[in-house]
Amino acid sequence: MTTTAKSALLAALTFGSGMAGFLVQWLVPVHEMTDAKGAIGSVVGLVTLLLALVLGLVIWTSFGVFTTQQSEAHTLGSNILQLDLLLERYGPEARVGRINLKDAVIRMRQRFWRNEAGGPQNLDYSRSRTDINHIEAFFGSLNPQTDAQRQMRGAGEALATSIVETSLLMSRQLANPVPSLLLIVVIAWSCLLFLGFGLLANFNAITVVAEAFGAISVASAIFMILEFSQPYSGLFTIDPAGLDSVLAAMIEDKATT
């Protein structure tokens, strides 16, 4: 189910809860509703406060996921560029490492932005472990002849390991950015709140429209939460232009060598 469909379903549920409140108010005797309105108003006030606090917190958390992924993507591109330049300066012995790096960047680009399933693929620990072993094997195969080459080998190995670790971290952070149970609780509170509105308000065209706009507002908040939690496939997508430019430079450089 898409994010838009989920948000539309939430809007329908909350609006339906408000209509159910009007129905209950019509079915229950007037004197009983009058006696209960004080308690209902207190519960509505409590749920309103809880919903406002939790919705704001979850929106901020999902936005934090988006900004963290964006920052890590920029760091990743910078580290890849530094490693490629360092291997170039090392000399012809490191050419195999540059080719492997380019292939790894292409796989990384496809894993995060071009996954046919509609989102980034999970990078498991066994793959990361294999990549780190390959990095150690490659740098171990180098035979530096100068102090500068020894320094570049050490710095290059650290950068390569950092790239793998950052890629793994980015993937794992997206595994469950917003717990489903938390969203279910927020939806339940929304339905309870609108049920209370229906119990307290008089049924007329204005209150029905107000309930509809309120339901749309809550659904739009959930929509933002879900979209920010999908920074590589949602509406608010992280631009891969930085990584693409690094990859294009690497491909162009290989074509000229």
How does pLDDT run along the chain (257 residues), one tens digit per residue? 788 888 999 999 999 999 999 998 888 888 888 888 888 899 999 999 999 999 999 999 889 888 988 888 888 888 888 888 898 888 888 888 888 888 888 888 877 876 545 556 555 567 667 777 788 888 888 888 889 888 998 898 888 888 888 888 888 777 777 788 888 899 999 999 999 999 888 889 999 999 999 999 999 999 999 888 888 877 888 888 777 787 777 766 655 55
pLDDT, residue 252, reads 62
Alpha-carbon gap, residue 57 to 53, rounded angstroms: 6
| Rounded Cα–Cα distance for residues 192 and 21 (Å) | 9
d(CA 229, CA 63): 7
Give 148-205 as a DSSP string.
HHHHHHHHHHHHHHHHHHHHHHHHHHTSSSS-HHHHHHHHHHHHHHHHHHHHHSPPSH
**Residue 47: per-residue pLDDT:** 92
Query: How many Å apart are CA 179 and CA 52, to the nearest integer?
Result: 18
Q: How far apart are the first and last CA of the chain?
A: 48
Owner of token pair 């007329």: 204
What pLDDT, on a 0 to 100 scale, did the predictor assign at position 162? 87
pTM: 0.77
Tell me how crowded residue 57 is: count the other CB atoms within 10 A of its CB: 11
What local confidence, expressed as pLDDT, does residue 161 receive?
85
